[in-house]
């Protein structure tokens, strides 16, 4: 089983890769690929996936703080 990685994209989606499932609140499984981009701006017409609608309207640049600095 490959480790799941979630990458917080600058001004955009959450890119998920690895061995994972995307499920709704009732436990139903969405169709997925090996790598998907989850919308975090709320503008996508294809939620929970990103459709590119964030471009130019969503700004969020997040950086992880190394554990030794927390
Ligand atoms: S993050 Fe891309 S459409 Fe929302």
Question: Do the Cβ atoms of 29 and 13 come closer than 8 Å?
Answer: no
Question: Do the Cβ atoms of 34 and 58 come closer than 8 Å?
Answer: no
Residues with CB under 6 A from ligand 1: 12-13, 39-41, 43-44, 50-54
**Position of tokens 């890769």?**
17
pLDDT at residue 67, as a whole number: 84
> pTM, whole model, 2 decimals?
0.90
pLDDT at residue 2, as a whole number: 86
Strand spans (E) along the chain: 5-8, 14-17, 35-38
Point out the ligand 1 atom lying closest to the alpha carbon of residue 44: 3
Which residue from 62, 40, 61 is spatially nearest to 49, judged by alpha carbons? 40
Tens-of-pLDDT digits for all 70 residues of the chain?
Answer: 689 999 999 999 999 999 999 999 999 999 999 999 999 999 999 999 999 999 999 999 999 998 888 7
Q: Tokens representing 44?
A: 């996508």
């Amino acid at each position: 089983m490959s480790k799941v990685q979630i990458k917080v994209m600058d001004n955009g989606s959450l890119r998920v890769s690895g061995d994972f499932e995307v499920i709704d609140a009732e436990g139903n499984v969405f169709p997925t690929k090996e790598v998907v981009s989850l919308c975090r701006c709320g503008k996508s017409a294809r939620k929970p996936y990103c459709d590119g609608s964030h471009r130019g309207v969503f700004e969020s640049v997040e950086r992880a703080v190394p554990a030794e600095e927390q």
